[in-house]
Amino acid sequence: MNSNSSSSEKATEFCEVEDGNLDAKHERSIEHIDSETVFSKEEQGKIIHHIDRRLVATTAAMYAVSPMDRTNLGNAAIAGMNEELGMEGDYRYSTIALVFFAMYTLLQPPATVLCRKLGPRPFLSFLCFCWGVVMICFGFPKTWIPLIPLRLLLGVFEAGFFLGCVYLISAWYARFDIQKRYAVFYLSETVLSGFSGILAYGIQQMDGLGGYSGWRWIFILEGILSVIVAVIGWIYLVDFPDRLISKPAWGFLKVDEVEFVLRRINKDRGDSTAEPWNFKKWASSGLGSCLTTMAYALSYFLLIILKNNLHMSVAEAQCLTAPPSILAAICMGFFAWAGDKYHVRGPLLLLNCLLGFIGLPLLGFAKQPAVRYFGTFLMCLSGQGAIPTALAYHWNGALAYQANNITGHWKRAFCSASLIGAGGIGGIAGSLVFRAGCAELSTGDICGVGV
């Protein structure tokens, strides 16, 4: 077999393709991949692990800094931002949190298509760099009004990132390999968000340095971190596998190894049988929206709840956000392992939702502070731990339709973004269910999240 000649011919074909026919040519090339190259099970495992180390690790590192704006907002709020910028009212803080989702939800479908067209390495790295710059700018306003356009800009730049990463990861793995990868990807954000309170407490000790308050340094330094991670992403991110046939990435897979990955994915998705688009597909999007309501509510308000409702000090509130996130990360890993091993998603999602229903009344109505704090563990587990399972459930549920009835990467990207982007609606609800200025949680607050 002359694999080098075959690979060279493929590369030549790709170079001759015009932009308008790029995806069609990719599809034809994938269908005629040389199937004679055989890898042993050990070699196949090494290929998959290489993808894990390069793709999943890089996207996880970049996504870990993406949601820091959510925890940053809460950390800054209890560290003096609300008082200094005049945000003590019930709804000013909620408004600042809410406006992010206007652009974030609206731009997800076109942003994901742009990720496919421009390529994930330049596109995702550019987004990470831009939101890092915006986060730095959060450290300089004198009133709360400039935070509104800054949050809108943050929504613009973060809109395409999560879906772009999910879409990119899904392009490299078979259906029942993917939940573990989603878990690692999402786990990085969960762990870093949990420890961000401790990090913020350390940064607050810079209060007065350069004439800036401690809460301003939280935004400035963590924005700089996002810029640094964007540069790392530019170096290490890889393209979609069908494009690497013609243009291999440095230090990554060889052409015959990429061909093996594509054969493996096509075989896996070829097992799917066509089914009509039905209520289940829309319900899975609604499920993601409900889960993200709790996840975003915790991201924006957990610190404020611990300080105002459980009467903790700023240092205690910031440090005690870490344990619930660590538990959520551990359980997330277990659910991912169980879901991929036993090919089960629905019961795991049901278990997560039940834990949330138990945690909410504990947080809202228990008398002892320790019991109320325990409720935050169950809520974090439900709101954050279930997201990778929901992603895998949604992807597998919609995969048969997409693989058999939606042709071309453009339509698949747009369809996936439209479906999973419904989670942004949960962010809108999560921004409004609690009131930052209230000293006690109301029955309406708890019922709003529970519903």
CA 424 to chain centre: 11
Ramachandran bin of 435, using left for φ above 0, alpha for ψ from -120 to 50, beta for the remaining angles: beta
Here the tokens at position 365 are 């109505």
User: Among candidates 425, 428, 408, which has minimal Cα distance to 27?
Assistant: 408
Neighbours of 142 (CB within 10 A): 9
| Residue 1 confidence (pLDDT) | 44
> Using an 8 Å Cβ cutoff, are 422 and 288 in contact?
yes
Enumerate domains of the chain plus CATH numbers.
Answer: 41-450 (1.20.1250.20)
| Residue 8 confidence (pLDDT) | 42
pLDDT tens digits, one per residue of 369-411? 899 999 989 888 887 766 666 666 555 444 333 433 344 455 5
| Residue 218 confidence (pLDDT) | 93
Chain position carrying tokens 């495992």: 45
> Which DSSP string do the residues of 73-123 spell out, in sequence order?
HHHHIIIIIHHHHT--STTHHHHHHHHHHHHHHHTHHHHHHHHHHH-HHHH
| Residue 123 confidence (pLDDT) | 96
Q: Which stretch of DSSP H or E encloses residue 3?
A: helix 3-15
Give the C-alpha separation, 160 to 164, whole Å: 6
Q: Enumerate residues 6+ apart whose C-beta is below 8 A from 416.
A: 112, 163, 166, 167, 170, 395, 398, 402
| Residue 367 confidence (pLDDT) | 84
| Residue 403 confidence (pLDDT) | 36
> Using an 8 Å Cβ cutoff, are 193 and 299 in contact?
yes
| Residue 283 confidence (pLDDT) | 64
CA angle 293, 170, 344 (to 5 degrees): 65
Ramachandran angles phi, psi of 372, nearest 5°: -65, -40
Give the C-alpha separation, 212 to 406, whole Å: 53
CA angle 372, 374, 378 (to 5 degrees): 115
| Alpha-carbon torsion (23, 24, 26, 30), positive or negative | positive
CA 206 to chain centre: 30
Give the C-alpha separation, 376 to 47, whole Å: 40
pLDDT tens digits, one per residue of 31-42? 444 444 678 888
pLDDT in single tens digits along all 451 residues of the chain: 444 444 444 433 333 333 344 444 444 444 444 444 678 888 888 999 999 999 999 999 999 888 776 678 888 988 889 889 988 766 788 888 888 888 888 888 788 888 888 999 999 999 999 999 999 999 999 999 999 999 999 999 998 898 889 889 888 988 778 778 887 888 887 788 778 888 888 998 999 998 999 999 999 999 999 999 999 999 999 999 988 888 888 889 899 899 999 888 888 766 544 445 556 556 666 666 777 777 777 877 888 888 888 888 888 888 888 898 888 888 888 887 877 777 777 787 788 788 888 888 888 788 888 999 999 898 888 877 666 666 665 554 443 334 333 444 555 555 555 555 666 676 777 666 665 555 455 444 444 444 4
| Alpha-carbon torsion (81, 226, 416, 278), positive or negative | negative
| Residue 18 confidence (pLDDT) | 36
Here the tokens at position 250 are 């440095």
Here the tokens at position 337 are 């392992």
Q: How far apart are the first and last CA of the chain?
A: 61
